[in-house]
Amino acid sequence: MTMLHERGIKRSWVDSAVLQPDIIENHADGTRHYLKEIPEYGNRWLRVVVNAASVPHKRVTAFFDRRLRKNI
């Protein structure tokens, strides 16, 4: 939870990204990336990385992806 606080990310945004993502990316390393646009944070894109190979799935990290601001 400290990482989220340091990055200014609300837990509800992370939950929303995983439960109702705008985009899902599956990566070769076994991770799944959930992307959600957060209007309350200037329409920035939140990326939540989940280890899909573990049971239950484990959230690895969450961050605002600056690269997506221009690409989507």
Domain of 66 in residue numbering reads as: 2-71
Query: 8 near 18, Cβ under 8 Å?
Result: no
* SS3 of the chain: CHHHHHHCCCHHHHHHHHHCCCEEEECCCCEEEEEEEEHHHCCEEEEEEEECCCCCCEEEEEEECCCHHHHC
Residues 6+ apart with CB under 8 A from 55: none
- Structure tokens of 69? 């601001």
> How many domains in the chain?
1
pTM of the full structure: 0.86
In tens, the pLDDT along 30-70 reads 899 999 999 999 999 999 999 988 777 777 889 999 887 65
